[in-house]
Structure 1
Amino acid sequence: MSTGIKQFSALLIFGNIENLILAAQGVAAAVNPLGLAILSLIAASCWLLIGTFGTRFAMKYSRAINFIGGLAIFILGIQAMMESIPGILAFFH
């Protein structure tokens, strides 16, 4: 893996995990997939702008930001699993 991509590998992995969690929550909530896709693109664009222009300011808070982001992904994952339990139990009955 080249040096340029290697430094972003964790971001790619956890970004994909976050997308899977959000998709699972969308399916569990039975939302319109097109609407969810449009809102996801808007949110990703906003994060791109925030990341592009807010990086210098946020560098001194990078450890806290990493912790909070990881915690949010963990909590969203637990929430998605908890919301899917009734559907799983219904499958086995």
Structure 2
Amino acid sequence: MDPELKIFFPLLLFGNIENLILAAQGVEAHVDPLGLAILSLIAVLCWLLIGTFGTRFAMKYARVINFIGGLAIFILGVQAMMEAIPGMIAFFH
């Protein structure tokens, strides 16, 4: 792996974990799996294009990008957990 790109590895790792959380939320909300899969693939394709063509420009902002991305992942994770708590409490009663 290119040493310049290694600084983005934690964001990639935790972003994939967040994708699993969002997919679980979609299943619980009874979203159409095919529609969710298509939208997910479109989002991945968009990020691939942005990453491919925007990497050189973004390198000087790598620390800011990592912070904002990590903060977004953290906030979405907390939101997912908070939304799941009522269902967990109801399950145990």
- TM-score computed with the length of structure 2 as normaliser: 0.83
> Is the CA contact 1:21–1:77 (under 8 Å) kept in the aligned structure 2?
yes
What code does the residue aligned with 1:30 have?
H
- Cα distance in 1 for partners of 2:37, 2:66 equals 25
2:23 aligns with: 23
**What are the within-5 Å matches in structure 2 for residues 1-93 of structure 1?**
4=1, 7=6, 10-93=10-93
For structure 2, the 5+ residue unaligned runs are none
Q: Percent identity?
A: 80
Q: What residue identity is the alignment partner of 2:13?
A: I
Return closer, same or farther for 1:11/1:63 CA change in 2, 3 Å cut-off: closer
**Number of paired residues?**
90
1:68 maps to amino acid: I
Query: Displacement of 1:11 after TM fit?
Result: 4.7
Shift of 1:5: 8.6
3-state SS of 1:72 partner: helix
Stretches of structure 1 lacking an aligned partner (at least 5 in a row) = none
CA distance in 1, matches of 2:24, 2:69: 18
TM-score (norm 1): 0.83
